[in-house]
Amino acid sequence: MLDFSFTPEQEALRGMVREFAKKELAPQYSHWDKNEEFPKEQLLKMGKLGIVGVDLPEKYGGKGADCVTAGIVLEEVARGDFSCGYPVTLAELVGGIITVNGTEEQKQHWLPPLIRGETTMTLAITEPHAGSDAGAIATTAVREGDYYIINGRKAAIDICLSDAVVIWAKTNPEAGTRGISAFIVPGDTLGLVRTPLRTMGCKGARLGNIEINNVRVPASNLLGEENRGFHMVMRAFDYSRALMGLWCLGAAQAALDDAIFYAKFRTAFGKPIGKFEGISFPLAENSTLVEAARMLCYKALWLRDHNLPHTKEAAMCKWWAPKLAADVIHHCMLVHGWYGYTDHVPQEQRLRDVIGLETGDGTGEVMKMIIVREILGREYLPY
């Protein structure tokens, strides 16, 4: 039976991260956006605090916490600085993939510095002509003795989070999704060329493309078994999609907090605007919707912690929470009037940032297809 309360330890952690985010992260939120810089300093502080990779094994420096706890940390981080959610999420995702599928040597090399915030890692799956259809990737990896030679192109990658990149490539192109493998590739490897993209939001993460030109990596950099990479990342997506829901809801809650505060002191016609139902009722509605979406995300994580099916719930989190967050933040921006449209308050930045996650890890349309598959059956899919 699902317990809708956090443990005392989780509540204490949530309070600690919230206070840290308020003091250390929120004041720098607009800085990273305006300067298009990655918040490396903040990441190191989070690593020292022990809130990067909290669900990774204690043996490598993590806390061995459950998925619900990881969600709590991410939501609170995002309330302070949405851009800092990138390294936190990717540490959980990449670190988890390495923990489950990596060799002991790979774990010892990559996990401790990742957890300390000293090393950043990202995933390279999406390609210019293969986004939601991850099985259609064209990047190849050919075995030559003790090495693999990788060629291809990856798109919309968090290129600043790339001291190392986990690249998915086809090792058996004729086998479709059963012929995809994953490789850990250091970011300074010869032949790996990064090109930044200009995006409307998430500028601290610096999304971009990666050209992979005859990149030569040792066979020991293969992550997991050859030709088993697709299933490895699909299971990880069920985790990341629930986390991304909380990531967006953290920003939505911050927007609500600011709008509620503003509605209490901004006056019009001789009274606080919060007294007008045109302002207060939408705030009540949005608060209700955010709370409902939050419960859905934590339910998905709770199901994962208990080894129960959660693909459907994770897809629900991913299509609904980012869209809801964008709608809520948009309204909160309007509560601030013309001032909300300026960069003097972070509402417009939050809106730009969360929109980016409406497509990341699968579009809303693909998430609905997954839900259909789970509730009606695979025979009702359009392909």
Tell whether 259 and 175 lie within a shared domain. no
Beta strands of the chain (E only): which ranges? 121-124, 140-144, 147-158, 164-170, 180-186, 192-196, 207-218, 222-223, 267-268, 271-272
* CA 189 from centre of chain: 25
Q: In angstroms, what is the C-alpha Rg of the chain?
A: 21
Q: Calculate the alpha carbon distances from 186 to 52, 162, 167, 216, 233 in Å.
A: 20, 8, 10, 11, 19
Query: Alpha-carbon distance 292 to 204, whole Å?
Result: 29
pLDDT above 90: percentage of residues in the chain: 84
pLDDT of 5: 85
- Give mean pLDDT, residues 176-205: 92
Whether 297 has a pLDDT exceeding 90, the answer reads: yes
Tell whether 366 and 277 lie within a shared domain. yes
Tell whether 70 and 131 lie within a shared domain. no
Domain count, the chain: 3
Whether 1 has a pLDDT exceeding 70, the answer reads: no
Among 77, 99, 119, the domain-final residue is: 119
pLDDT of 222: 98
Tell whether 180 and 242 lie within a shared domain. no
The per-residue pLDDT of the chain, averaged, comes to 94
Tell whether 234 and 178 lie within a shared domain. no
Tell whether 81 and 108 lie within a shared domain. yes
Tell whether 260 and 356 lie within a shared domain. yes
Residue 1 lies in a domain: no
Q: Where in the sequence is the domain holding 105, given as residue range(s)?
A: 8-119
Selection from 280, 316, 309, 311 nearest residue 295 by Cα: 316
Place of tokens 């899919």: 381
Whether 45 has a pLDDT exceeding 80, the answer reads: yes
Tell whether 192 and 134 lie within a shared domain. yes
Whether 162 has a pLDDT exceeding 90, the answer reads: no
Q: Are strands 271-272 and 192-196 parallel, antiparallel or unpaired?
A: unpaired
Confidence of residue 141 (pLDDT cuts 50, 70, 90): very high
pLDDT of 23: 97
Tell whether 179 and 262 lie within a shared domain. no
Q: Calculate the alpha carbon distances from 167 to 148, 185, 239, 251, 332 in Å.
A: 12, 7, 19, 29, 39
Tell whether 289 and 311 lie within a shared domain. yes
CATH of residue 89's domain is 1.10.540.10
Residues with Cβ within 8 Å of 308's Cβ and at least 6 positions away in sequence, in order, are none
Residue 124, both tokens:
């390279």
- Give mean pLDDT, residues 301-320: 97
Tell whether 216 and 240 lie within a shared domain. no
pLDDT of 39: 86
Query: Alpha-carbon distance 237 to 123, whole Å?
Result: 11
Among 103, 119, 135, the domain-final residue is: 119
Sign of CA dihedral 148, 152, 154, 159: positive
Residue 130 lies in a domain: yes
Q: Calculate the alpha carbon distances from 12 to 24, 177, 300 in Å.
A: 18, 43, 22
Whether 319 has a pLDDT exceeding 60, the answer reads: yes
Residue 2 lies in a domain: no
- Which of 1-15, 83-97, 268-282 is predicted with the least confidence, judged by mean pLDDT? 1-15
Q: What is the three-class DSSP state of 361?
A: coil
Tell whether 203 and 317 lie within a shared domain. no
Q: Which residue has the higher pLDDT, 158 or 349?
A: 349
